[in-house]
Amino acid sequence: MKKKKILSVTLATCLVMSTLAGCGSSGGDSGSSSGSSSSSSNSSSSSSDNAADSSGDTASAVSLDSLPAAVGEGTIVASPDFYAGVDLSDHYTVNMYLIGDTPNDWNRILDLTNEYLEPFNTDIAVTFMSWSDYQTMYSLVLAGGEQVDLIFTAPWCYMYTEAAKGSFYELTDDFIANCMPMANKYQDKDSWSETTLSGKTIAVPSNVAAAMGKIVAIRQDLADKYDISELKTWEDYMNFMITMGEKETPESGIYGLASSVDNNELWDVYRQQYDTFLALDSDYFDMIYSWDGDLPTVDEITMSYETDWFREYAKDMKTLADAGCWSRSALTNTVTDDDAFGALQGASIAWNGSVITYVRQAEQSEGVQCALYDLTTDHFVGCEAFSNNDMAIAAGSKNPERAGMILDLLKFDTYLNRLWILGIEGEHYTIDDEGYYTELDKSSDFAAYAISAAWAIKNDDLHEAGADPRMQAISDGWAERVENNPTITFVFDTTPVDSYVSAVKVVLDDYVPMLELGLVDDVDATLDEMIQKCYDSGLQTVKDEFAAQYEAWYATR
């Protein structure tokens, strides 16, 4: 599973993003150091010099007031002077955990980062929890097995589950003002409500909200082989998939979709036909409704798997599974469907605009041609929430103040922000004065938005120049159809029913993946069995608590 109130919507064609009153010291050196690299580009050297210069003379302290008024209106160069409330006297290594695979040039990016951070007496060590491992590692890491300072999180990546456990450090107004002064200056004020649970802000959201429709990418060269010229509807996609499973897979071994673990992204594509939003998005535990333009009443919201939509989707998945559209061992497949598509092992993928990354990988092979299709052009397009990608400070951090400072620097210092989002200027990308970037050949070793941290630290100042015309055409088609989820600021506090939620999730974890992959003998019987087990595990108690909290929130709208 890869898994809004805003003043304006930016159509993104990029690769798709305390209990303390202040900030005193809270621990010294963590005992490890990532070191620094002697390799650098001209841009990295000059930027490092800027950081050093800004901290070299305490008699001429740099003020936040000297910075541009907004991100994108000039170069932002951070200074240790901004962090007078953070004790920088002892060296400290901030341990960060991200999800996803490690880019080839990551060590170079990290070396340049730590070189730049020398004036701040801080460096960063990063652990990547791979796509195949993060679901098992994530909770264990936060449970105390490792020293963690910063970690990627999201509603689709255990944010609510871990927040309920107290796994994240509370970001009070004083903490943000003193330890994250640039976030205090530049972060969209409306965004904070999306990561505030039960009155406590537990993560820093991305700083941009954008149209986020779900689409499919396919091997058009294979479609053409079987006289399939284009896809317009879900039924067209089903026909393409069955054709691949019955004709192409036996010949070449290429699956219609090289599924891995589940087909959750394809479910998102499917449900767009019914104009749905999620009132709760928590791992597989989703509460869904069909939006008609008004704020839904609690009676209009139900668990996704109790809807006819999911039942019919599961039946379609069985049809595709029986046609051989993916491996019978897809439940345990450790290669993501995206990577498999890029490696020519799959004929389609479903996701958001990020599919372009894997389309480009596939098209590096001679004769391969891909196409992107929006299968629901007559329906609205959801807006990616600020909180769709976030960074949190772990509650167990030995130095949350230093972690907050590092997050502030990565998010708003122009050099660091571009380094982590785009890579090394002149090698991985070029950029013009208006913030339009072009990826270079070396971007295969560090693509734009290649790491999960990039999704969380993005602002609205970077745009891809000469965006792929296929993605641009889809984005243009979204322009008049973008809608915000009206329930985005409702957050379900599971604390009163934690044990029941956990029990229900165990059932869902057992059943949902195999239903989404169609790897069951009887869809109706299996789905009914799952739902009954959910109720046996306390689903009604959870729904009653959800209803009580939602109605209280609804009354304030």
Distance CA(435)–CA(472), nearest Å, equals: 17
Average pLDDT, the chain: 89
| pLDDT value of position 199 | 84
Q: Counting runs of H as helices and runs of E as strands, what totals does the chain give?
A: 20, 19
Which tens digit of pLDDT belongs to each residue from 407-431? 999 999 999 999 999 999 999 999 9
Is residue 155 predicted with pLDDT exceeding 90?
Answer: no
The answer, yes or no, to whether residue 44 has pLDDT greater than 80, is no
**328 burial via Cβ count (<10 Å: 0-12, 13-18, 19+):** exposed
**Is residue 10 predicted with pLDDT exceeding 70?**
no
pLDDT at 33 over 70: no
Radius of gyration of the chain (CA): 24
The predicted structure's pLDDT at residue 1? 52
Going by pLDDT thresholds of 50, 70 and 90, the confidence category of residue 354 is: confident
557 Cβ partners below 8 Å, 6+ apart?
295
Determine which of 17-21, 88-92, 309-313, 389-393 has the lowest per-residue pLDDT on average.
17-21
For the chain, how are helix, strand and coil distributed in percent, rounded to 5?
45, 15, 40
> What pLDDT is attached to residue 556?
83
Contact 28, 90 (CB under 8 A): yes
| 5 or 397, higher pLDDT | 397
Residue 467 has pLDDT above 70, yes or no: yes
* pLDDT > 80? residue 177: yes
Average pLDDT over residues 246-256: 98
Neighbours of 118 (CB within 10 A): 15
The token pair that represents 548 in the structure block:
């009580």
**pLDDT > 70? residue 464:** yes
- The pLDDT tens digits of the residues spanning 183-236 come to 999 999 989 988 988 789 999 999 987 788 999 999 999 999 999 999 999 999
20 and 176 in contact (C-beta within 8 Å)?
no
| Per-residue buried b or exposed e for 469-503, using 16+ beta carbons within 10 Å of the residue's own CB | ebbeebbeebeebbbbbbbbbbbbbbeebeebbeb
End-to-end CA distance of the chain: 32
Are 179 and 430 contacting, i.e. CB atoms less than 8 angstroms apart?
Answer: no
For 255, list phi and psi in degrees, rounded to 5: -80, 155
Q: Per-residue pLDDT averaged across 254-266, rounded?
A: 97
**Which residues, including other chains, have CB under 8 Å from residue 531's CB and lie 6 or more apart?**
305, 306, 539
pTM attached to this predicted model: 0.67
Between these two residues, 156 and 406, which has the higher pLDDT value?
406
Question: By the 8 A CB rule, do 388 and 484 touch?
Answer: no
3-class state of residue 123 by DSSP: strand
Domains and their CATH numbers in the chain: 42-57+72-211+386-473 (3.40.190.10)
Helix H segments across 413-522? 414-422, 452-456, 469-478, 498-516
Give the phi and the psi of residue 269 in degrees, each rounded to 5. -65, -45
- Structure token digits, residue 60: 């001429």
